[in-house]
Structure 1
């Protein structure tokens, strides 16, 4: 039997003080399981927070899961931390904490909240692991990361579910490993001119159908695709190809599976006891108690862990709206107001501010992105100015209005013109990302291509126009996998994307269009320099609803870089359509969503066009253009 010792600890008095205060942001260095030596003998130190337990012991491979074999000792400093050193415990062995509640004597077997690795689901034990032996090769990327993540640089994000991007059909339809995915994905992202990849949650989770949003292991990359070191290699490979890695992270709620955080020591330790505060009706999950210091330290430590240990370049915080409002997804009588009688969750707001101040204080070159669907003010403004402190926010209003507009038959769009122009009223209120995410292609909503009206040719023309409009609209960009080549089916997390569709010219043409648009977005400074500033955008004509036409310019700090964008969302070709422009001279069409190379209808402006001294749209000079039906064209002064 492996002996257990209590004369070893990883905690200083300052660690305990910061833990109780809620400001210890590197708890992963202290809590959980750690390989170490005591008096020349190897073993593992264990530490777990369970203040309302009568007894805690480690049950593991090394003791046959015997609850009496290795009891831990409760620290005497009031921290609620139980600890002990098990001599002879080894890397790779599985373990859980056997907890006896002092409230009613019930027993629980819990996975380690701070585990670095876990068994592959459906198994649920934690695994002793070491991660500091990985040798990173991304020094160049890390030194230059601030340039890739800067607000005045292009950020075009490919959202990815690792388990279903590509699968090995010939090997019982298994998903790719971290390393297999990295090698194939890096090549693809370069081909497609993406700057970043956003991975749907890979923090360990029990139920495949939750897509990773019901978490049990906030410090463990899921074992479904490989080891922690293999996920580090995934990030390393991305960085070697100059691709930033954004991780989807879920501090808004957690799964209620018995081995997880729920009712951890027989009490509501991580969650609220009152279901009006602690139960999430939309997802049947538990809501964190953000007012508890130790819980805030746990969550912020998780964010810091991925940034420090895994070199993650950004974190997308899921479901921020559900955190901000106490009445989110609740009817009257199902929620409790705050101390001022309002519906704002003051503890969650304070937590988000502390989170962003902490991570940006440590890593100024990363990005924090909020999935926030309401009009809550100043989400992306600094905390010292009263904001939440995020770097970016998903523009859900733009997404909803744009998709509603594009679903309409073109003949009806003139009556809904405001839906396509309204976003410019608030486009610079926040630092926005324009998302066409996984949420828009599931639950019977239809794929992007199937949202488009008309026959097959019209559907592809509409989707090409949507992507071209999105690229020209102020804001960073995000597109969920499969949308770039027009997958017909809704996304299915159990299956690979339908890559065979690329055998058809219309799908290949759409994929090439997305690649070219990403390339233009990266190379043309006018399309990204002022993504968040009024200085980068100017309407030419927002009011031609009768023709379903929009025209505007995107600007940089150099006049000659100005790009004219003309969108014709009608199913009609317009000849000699006059557009006022800010500069006289020769303009060239640099992009057209109806180019033949995209399997478009080849209605273009092939020759450079000289301005005429004819007033239009309040400007002294104008161009006479040919506008393709269901097409978007870009022009540049030459």
Structure 2
């Protein structure tokens, strides 16, 4: 390997001093490592700066020899040979004087067969900019956080009964420079913060920023589980972004991928010449759908590795929630496999018992050490009690993505309105199970890639109807029980399918018209949502929802109430056809004036302007099993949010 110039400059801020002894592996550390419960291995393994240089430690139990190579020794494996610990842990250690921040390095690992492997540090805090693959020596204590108020408040808040509207974002393609270059963390910070404040989202979910060699994997093929991607800057730069979002009152969710990893030569696969991190048998250790390796969750050291990765992002980067990717692939041994391509568990079943145990430990550890965080499962099956506590037989997640709602709702909206009367069940079925889990409603990046088209292009009809249908979809999503997640670009009806190599089409909003109208609709949905406890306080409790009419399939109309335990209710009436409906009676529980707070057909949003002139008084006419009703005009392909304001005079 050629010697490389040291061009990376360390951050200049002074941080707290840490003694060299802090990084030493003690007996307790080794016990927890072997037990699989060590949650702070990043403080013990990897590379840590000392008073005179750096200490290196790597787990490679089947190696015959290990050396540290880098631009501080000409990448010569004969200069700095590591020593294997006497305790049988398989950990190799070495102190090297003269190593400074910015130096690049790898571990040269010699296998039992004499092969030399050059591996990046599994615990590296920073990596070279891809396609280069070396790890980078980097300090960890040089950033001064200014989010004390946010962190203190987060611990006392109850996210499950609070508003949560999430903007899913891919940093490399959200917004680019005028020359098409990716922006770095610090450049993105004010732009993204300002935009989220403008649009009213409570949280941003970042698609994986954990280091990944192939940009086109969007971060879901991770090699650096402890390093934010150098594509966008340094670890301190990423902390700057998180800090800026927190100062603005915006929570940060990080996509995290413990389900699989790529087979790149410098990565975790066959790390010491053996299947160390992954199963040796391809029926357990190879993922056919993603052409990647599967972690061996039955090996305690691997459990500690993954647990420590999760805790790093919560500990050092102040991340507020982890969205755990591909949980279903972890739970089922036969996931994406045909008969004969998988190995049953000890009971002969298809459940991955080791992965289940790991997920429960992960959730217990995260909620124990970080009150106020959330761990969210992307889980697409009917596995029971995903978001229920472990002591009640659950997996212990705080929330679960509602993939059923997403599939059914999109299929319904893609139907021509003339046919929707035959598919009313797709619209209402989700309420039969809406309170069996703590659900998040996702319209994620997965729905606008691989030829699926954009959200607006999924909608049927002419251009006016496409935009009306999309506004109706968003209105129903914000009204439906469950927290919300929308992928970037959807909020202004981007027409083009998402392309990770290009910026979003911001010119569509700048031109005004229906795209700006959809964006304004999402802004107003978010603001009204955040101001109305009835729309979020009882998201996971059946007491927060009441059908008024779910059965008017002939007109493709649904009506329901969202309610709060603090009093107050919001009436939602949605017309899923392009036919305006006059004198439509909707039964209500309270007499008095009902304010029309939101109407997706308002001209402000690009609609036709049909509605109820800001509200209406109830009349003593029975409807839908209630003694009072509202005589409403239902806009075409429109949704109304009405709030009870006062008793009848």
Shift of 1:145: 1.2
Q: CA deviation at 1:504?
A: 3.1
2:144 corresponds, among 126, 131, 135, to: 135
Q: What is aligned with 1:257? A: 264
Q: Distance in 1 between matches of 2:23 and 2:490?
A: 51
> C-alpha displacement at 1:585, in angstroms?
1.2
Looking at structure 2, the residues matched to 45 and 198 of structure 1 have their Cα atoms a distance apart, in angstroms, of 34
Per-residue Cα deviation, 1:250-269 (whole angstroms, up to 9, x for no partner): 00000110000000000000
Which sections of structure 2, spanning at least 5 residues, go unmatched?
A: 1-19
1:67 aligns with 2:77: yes
1:474-485 aligned within 5 A: 474-485=481-492
Once the two structures are TM-superposed, the CA of residue 9 in structure 1 deviates from its matched residue by 6.8
Equivalent residue number for residue 3 of structure 1: none
Aligned residues of 1:147 and 1:153 also touching (Cα < 8 A): no
**Which secondary structure state, in structure 2, belongs to the residue aligned with residue 218 of structure 1?**
strand
Q: Is 1:573 aligned to residue 576 of structure 2?
A: no
CA displacement 1:176-234 (0-9 Å, x = unmatched) = 10011111000000000010000000000000110000000000000000000000000
Matches within 5 A, 1:480-499: 480-499=487-506
Equivalent residues of 2:591, 2:628 under 8 A apart: yes
Q: Deviations over 1:17-63 (max 9, x none)?
A: 111111111000000000012xxxx1100000000000000010100
Residue 150 of structure 1 and its aligned partner are, at CA, apart by 1.5
The aligned residue for residue 522 of structure 2 is: 514
| C-alpha displacement of 1:584 | 1.1
> Equivalent residue for 2:543?
535
1:189 to 2:196 alignment: yes
Distance in structure 2 (CA, Å) of the matches to 1:378 and 1:261: 32
2:23·2:43 contact (CA, 8 Å) conserved in 1?
A: no
Displacement after TM superposition at 1:8 (Å): 11
User: Aligned-pair distance for 1:468?
Assistant: 0.4
Please give the secondary structure, in 2, of the residue aligned with 1:412: helix
CA displacement at 1:149 relative to structure 2: 5.6
- Mapped to 1, the partners of 2:316 and 2:614 lie a distance apart of 54
Query: Among residues 55, 65, 68, which one is paired with 1:45 in the alignment?
Result: 55
Partner of 1:98, secondary structure, is strand
Is 1:200 aligned with 2:207?
Answer: yes
Measured in 2, the distance between the counterparts of 1:9 and 1:308 equals: 17
Q: Contact between 2:492 and 2:519, CA under 8 Å: does it hold in 1?
A: yes
2:100 aligned to which of 87, 90, 93: 90
Q: In structure 2, how many angstroms separate the alpha carbons of the residues matched to 1:313 and 1:377? A: 25
Match of 2:49 among 35, 60, 63: 35
| 1:73-84 alignment, distance < 5 Å | 73-84=83-94
Contact 1:205 1:222 in 2 (8 A): yes
SS in 2 for 1:63: coil
Deviation at 1:146, TM superposition (A): 3.6
**Mapped partners of 2:615, 2:122: distance in 1:** 63
How big is the shift at 1:612? 1.5
User: Which residue number in structure 2 is paired with residue 217 of structure 1?
Assistant: 224
Of 540, 550, 561 in structure 1, the residue corresponding to residue 558 of structure 2 is 550
Q: Name the residue aligned to 2:594.
A: 587
Aligned-partner Cα distance in 1 for 2:565–2:29: 49
SS state at 1:330 partner: coil
Q: Tell me if the contact between 1:149 and 1:367 (Cα under 8 Å) persists in the aligned partners.
A: no
What secondary structure sits across from 2:395 in the alignment?
Answer: coil
Structure 1 counterpart SS, 2:571: strand
- How far apart are the structure 1 equivalents of 2:206 and 2:21? 42
Q: Deviations over 1:78-137 (max 9, x none)?
A: 1100001001111100000000112x2211000000000000000000000002111111
- TM-score by length of structure 2 reads 0.95
Q: Secondary structure at the match of 1:132?
A: coil
SS in structure 1 at match of 2:187: helix
Q: What is the match of residue 300 of structure 2?
A: 293
Q: Which residue does the alignment assign to 1:166?
A: 175
Do 1:60 and 1:94's aligned partners in 2 also have CA atoms closer than 8 Å?
yes
Aligned alpha-carbon RMSD (Å): 1.2
Give yes or no for contact 2:597–2:614 (8 Å, CA) kept in 1.
Answer: no
Whether contact under 8 Å (1:580, 1:623) holds in the other structure is yes
Listed as ranges, the gaps of 5+ residues in structure 1 are 1-5
Deviations 1:608-633 (A, max 9, x none): 32211111111111111000110000
Cα deviation, 1:264-296, whole Å, max 9, x if unaligned, reads 000000000000000000000000000000000
Of 382, 386, 389, the match for 1:382: 389
Q: 2:32 aligns with which of 18, 25, 39?
A: 18
The equivalences for 1:268-279 within 5 A come to: 268-279=275-286
Per-residue displacement from partner, 1:287-306 (whole Å, max 9, x unpaired)? 00000000000000000001
Alpha-carbon displacement from aligned partner over 1:481-532 (angstroms, at most 9, x marks no partner) = 0000000000000000000001131100000000000001100110011011
1:318-397 aligned within 5 A: 318-397=325-404
Q: Does 1:152 align with 2:161?
A: yes
Post-superposition offset of 1:557: 2.0
Partner SS for 2:631: strand
CA contact (8 A) 1:58 1:95 kept: yes
Displacement after TM superposition at 1:607 (Å): 4.5
In the aligned structure 1, how far is the partner of 2:321 from the partner of 2:565?
28
TM-score for the superposition, normalised by structure 1: 0.97
For residues 109 and 188 of structure 2, the distance between their equivalents in structure 1, rounded to whole angstroms, comes to 39
Asked if structure 2 preserves the Cα contact closer than 8 Å seen for 1:550 and 1:566, the reply is: yes
Distance in 2 between residues matched to 1:625 and 1:276, nearest whole Å: 60
